[in-house]
Amino acid sequence: MRARFTTDEIASAALRIVDESGLAALSMRSLAAALGTGPMTMYNYVADKEGLEELVVAAVAAGIVVPEPSDDWAADVHATASAMWRGVRAHPAAIPLVLTRRMASATGFAIADALVGALGRAGLSDAGRLSAFHAVLGLVTGSAQAQLAGPFSGDAAETAARIGSAAGAQYPHIAALSEVATSVSVEDDFDGGLRMLIAGIAAAGSAVS
């Protein structure tokens, strides 16, 4: 028999299952079947299901292109965070894994390092740099997810049904905002929030220095 695989083959087969059939379709058994072997063979490449999921996260991270640093730290933070957001959004079904599993791959470290490096030139204190790093990371992953599962996700009719008719008068601010949500692209929506955060980081850096 001697069927042998590289870790990359395993990882991309797993990501393909998630992309094509959803997160629930990924199992040790379905992956093994997709590779034409028995379930137990997978345990030669991965410690357990958790390890397989980390492989999927690494495969998503591998799709992120780390931008070259410039002499403008704010532009670098923007470019790095945008690259992460695009890379994550390219695999929507994998997002729960990206949010939940530790990102410990080489690309994952590389992009995080680029982000911290850019933030290091913002004139922040050490603690401020850590806060800003967590905030950008949280904003990227959190708003990628919020756009998919937040109160305004799904089509307009669904949103209206959920908020408008069910509790329209009780929650007037949400109801009003839900109409805005139909006319803004998710790219612009994310970009707006990111620019606000970067402006706030810049202000905090100026205050320290």
Does 204 sit near a copy of itself (CB under 8 A)? yes
Element (H, E) at 107: helix 106-119
Please choose which of DNA, a copy of itself, none residue 30 contacts, taking the beta carbon within 5 to 8 angstroms, the exact cut-off set by kind. DNA
Site for DNA in 17-46 (CB under 7 A): 26-30, 37-41, 43-44
> Is the CB of 30 or the CB of 143 nearer to a copy of itself?
143
Instruction: Report d(CA 138, CA 99) in Å as an integer.
Output: 9
Q: Report CA-CA distances (Å) from 74 to 19, 79, 108, 119.
A: 33, 9, 20, 8
Instruction: Report d(CA 75, CA 77) in Å as an integer.
Output: 6
Does 7 sit near DNA (CB under 7 A)? no
Site for DNA in 50-79 (CB under 7 A): 50
Which tokens is 202 given? 């810049």
Site for a copy of itself in 73-102 (CB under 8 A): 96, 99-102
- Indicate the burial class of 149 (C-beta count within 10 angstroms; 0-12, 13-18, 19 or more): exposed
Instruction: Output the smallest distance, CB 14 to DNA, in A.
Output: 10
Please choose which of a copy of itself, DNA, none residue 137 contacts, taking the beta carbon within 5 to 8 angstroms, the exact cut-off set by kind. a copy of itself
> Is the CB of 41 or the CB of 147 nearer to a copy of itself?
147
Which tokens is 72 given? 């403008």
- Residue 190 C-beta-side C-alpha neighbours within 13 Å: 26
Please choose which of DNA, a copy of itself, none residue 146 contacts, taking the beta carbon within 5 to 8 angstroms, the exact cut-off set by kind. a copy of itself
> Is the CB of 63 or the CB of 193 nearer to a copy of itself?
193
Instruction: Output the smallest distance, CB 91 to a copy of itself, in A.
Output: 15
Contact 101, 141 (CB under 8 A): no
